[in-house]
Amino acid sequence: MRKQWHYFIFFAIIIIQFLIELGFIFVNFNLLSAYNSIKKQYNITGAINPFALIYKNMLNAVSIGLFLDFILLLLTSSALILAIRFKENIISNNSNLENEAFTDSLTGLYNRRYFNTFYENIFAQSSRYGIPLSLIMCDIDHFKNINDTYGHDKGDIVLKEVSDVLKNNIRKSDIAVRFGGEEFIVCLPSTSITDAIDVARKIKQMISKIRTKDTKNLTISMGVASYKKEFGNESKDMLKHLDNLLYEAKNRGRNRIISGDHQGSIIEVEENPWADE
More confident residue, 170 or 18: 170
Q: What is the per-residue pLDDT for 42?
A: 56
CB 112 within 8 A of CB 187: no
Domain range 112-269, its CATH number among 3.30.70.141, 3.40.50.300, 3.20.20.140, 3.30.70.270: 3.30.70.270
d(C-alpha 226, C-alpha 90), whole Å: 41
Mean pLDDT in residue range 170-182 = 95
CB 245 within 8 A of CB 257: no
Tell me the pLDDT of the chain averaged across its residues.
Answer: 79
Give the pLDDT confidence of 184-210 residue by residue, as tens digits: 999 999 999 999 999 999 999 999 999
Dihedral of the alpha carbons of 237, 242, 247, 248, in degrees to the nearest 10: 110
Q: What is the per-residue pLDDT for 274?
A: 46
More confident residue, 79 or 237: 237
Give catalytic residues, as residue numbers: 182
H-helix or E-strand spanning residue 8: helix 2-42
Identify the band that residue 38 occupies on the pLDDT scale cut at 50, 70 and 90: low
Q: What share of the chain in percent tops pLDDT 90? A: 47
